[in-house]
Structure 1
Amino acid sequence: MSVPVETAPGPVPWVAMYHSVGDPTDDPYRITVTPERLERQLAWLARRGLRGVSVAELLAARARGEGRDLVGLTFDDGYADFLTGALPVLRRHGCNATLFVLPGRLGGDNAWDPLGPRKALLTADGIRRAAAEGVEVGSHGMTHVDLTEADDLTLKTETVDSRAALAELLGTEPAGFCYPYGTLDRRAVDAVRDAGYTYACAIDPGPLNGLHALPRVHVGQNDTSVRLLLKYRLHRLRRRPVEGLR
């Protein structure tokens, strides 16, 4: 889905960052939520008149001057449990999401995490299945490398080559990119933009702004309704308007 680009800054969109949906036991990184917790979190959105969608859908709506009732839902790394733990919950609540995957690690695991349990990643067929269900698939780089520490060749591989690999896998070029570890600098942002991505997600982009440096909010197993409300309000208070959005 293409994302129309506007030039006037607009209120920062609320984009939630998830990872794995399954068993959170022995997870030192706190990246796993149970399906039951995700269910309650999406129910919380619904009670507030909000609905979770892909980032592409959110940004397209905002570019039309709409979408104030939409929030972005993102799932990083492309864990295999997205199909079994997250997707059924999303469908029950009428929500959609963006899944950021690593085409250089298809069917592998989270080898970049030195601590905690090994978690299986989606295979090529799994990614195609998610896309067939209407989930937006974006790139998380080729192999989960910190772009701020990458040499020129690695930077190209992680941005340009990962986009080409996903285009070959899915038959369409991905619009979105997600910075591994949430880290970015001007060089990384320029590389992502030059690779042809329409937008890119970070965590805290610092002084950088715009559609290629979108901030997100980590959502975890401990985020109850009260914590979600605080995160929702503080995100809008702490983040600057985004250049390129109404």
Structure 2
Amino acid sequence: MTAAATGRPHAPGSGRGRLRMAPVLMYHSISPSGVADPHRIRVHPDRLDRHLRLLRRLGLRGVPLAELVRATDRGEAAGLVGLTFDDGYTDFLEHAVPVLDRHGMAGTVYVVAGRLAGQNEWDEGPRLDLMDADAVRAVAAAGHEVGSHTLHHVHLRGATPAVLAEEIQGSRRVLEEVLQAEVPGFAYPWGEFDAAAADAVRAAGYDHACVTGDYLPGDRFTIPRFYVAPGDGAARLLAKLTRHSWRMRGVPDAGGAG
């Protein structure tokens, strides 16, 4: 599925009810590098391979978040898991795509639109390379979704209306110009949001947005994800999947909801 096939965004003001979502995994860098990883964002490709093997054994298939949201709308999300990769590191094409292809799965890459061909300057280091415009187009051409992760990877909680508009609307404009296609999905940097940030994402015309770990409000613009750590083995990943299923108990199905 490419970004061109993501469907029409919902109108601003919709999507306020809590969703009963399938699990959504959050990765960052996928690389065999041995460079220091103080922020714990690097998962080895072999470990990603083991994670996807586990999903297959459980009868699950990893898909981009836009595909998962659409399937949830139709009441057809059983057997699906969302796969997301934050920041848009260059190693996604080299190391993640071959693993995903091997298992017949695809994911969403959330790109920091104002730092194309740059580095992760929002962290203290080490510095990691970010995809340029050609690489972003290659991600979409390979069958993965491209989503927005703001212009500069800034904190949105407590941000002014001007900053929210620049970072949220501006990043979507940049990516849609790069892809010449709609960009329906957004991820809040560091998973941080407040009501004003969620409202700004909705008003910017996105179809959905995801956070990190939070389960409330858990609506279309605050979809929960769980962080996958570098050392997470099969048992830890299975525990996270089980915990998610437990947390979703009692939430009504969203089939047919808008």
1:165 corresponds to which of 174, 178, 182: 174
Shift of 1:10: 4.8
Length-normalised TM-score, structure 1: 0.93
Q: Deviations over 1:42-97 (max 9, x none)?
A: 00100100010000111111211112100000000000000001011000000000
Partner SS for 1:188: helix
- Matched to 2:68, the amino acid is L
Which residue of structure 2 aligns with residue 30 of structure 1? 40
Which residue of structure 2 aligns with residue 86 of structure 1? 96
**Does 2:73 match 1:63?**
yes
2:19–2:218 contact (8 Å) kept in structure 1: no
Structure 1 unaligned runs (5+)? none
In the superposition, relative to structure 1, how do residues 3 and 60 fare at CA in structure 2: closer, same or farther (>3 Å)? farther
Which residue of structure 1 aligns with residue 51 of structure 2? 41
How large is the Cα RMSD of the aligned pairs? 2.0
Shift of 1:209: 2.8
The 2-side partners of 1:179 and 1:93 are apart by 28
**Does 2:115 match 1:101?**
no
The 1-side partners of 2:168 and 2:82 are apart by 22
In the superposition, relative to structure 1, how do residues 46 and 204 fare at CA in structure 2: closer, same or farther (>3 Å)? same
Partner SS for 1:204: coil
1:156 corresponds to which of 127, 147, 165: 165
Partner SS for 1:148: coil
In the superposition, relative to structure 1, how do residues 9 and 105 fare at CA in structure 2: closer, same or farther (>3 Å)? closer
- Matched to 1:47, the amino acid is R
The 1-side partners of 2:120 and 2:248 are apart by 30
The 2-side partners of 1:207 and 1:145 are apart by 22
Shift of 1:187: 0.3
Where in structure 2 are the equivalents of 1:92-131 lying within 5 Å?
92-114=102-124, 116-131=125-140
- Matched to 2:7, the amino acid is S
In the superposition, relative to structure 1, how do residues 7 and 119 fare at CA in structure 2: closer, same or farther (>3 Å)? closer
The 2-side partners of 1:157 and 1:210 are apart by 23
Which residue of structure 1 aligns with residue 3 of structure 2? none
**Does 2:244 match 1:220?**
no
In the superposition, relative to structure 1, how do residues 185 and 10 fare at CA in structure 2: closer, same or farther (>3 Å)? closer
Which residue of structure 1 aligns with residue 242 of structure 2? 233
In the superposition, relative to structure 1, how do residues 167 and 208 fare at CA in structure 2: closer, same or farther (>3 Å)? same
The 2-side partners of 1:163 and 1:4 are apart by 12
The 1-side partners of 2:161 and 2:57 are apart by 47
- Matched to 1:27, the amino acid is D
Aligned length: 245
The 2-side partners of 1:155 and 1:190 are apart by 10
Which residue of structure 2 aligns with residue 2 of structure 1? 7
Partner SS for 1:138: strand
1:112–1:144 contact (8 Å) kept in structure 2: yes
2:19–2:219 contact (8 Å) kept in structure 1: no
**Does 2:148 match 1:143?**
no
2:87–2:110 contact (8 Å) kept in structure 1: yes
Partner SS for 1:112: coil
In the superposition, relative to structure 1, how do residues 180 and 94 fare at CA in structure 2: closer, same or farther (>3 Å)? same
The 2-side partners of 1:112 and 1:239 are apart by 33
After TM superposition, the structure 1 stretch with the greater mean CA deviation from structure 2, 202-211 or 188-197, is: 202-211
In the superposition, relative to structure 1, how do residues 98 and 45 fare at CA in structure 2: closer, same or farther (>3 Å)? same
Partner SS for 1:149: coil
- Matched to 1:35, the amino acid is P
2:215–2:223 contact (8 Å) kept in structure 1: no
2:20–2:253 contact (8 Å) kept in structure 1: no
Length-normalised TM-score, structure 2: 0.89
Shift of 1:206: 5.4
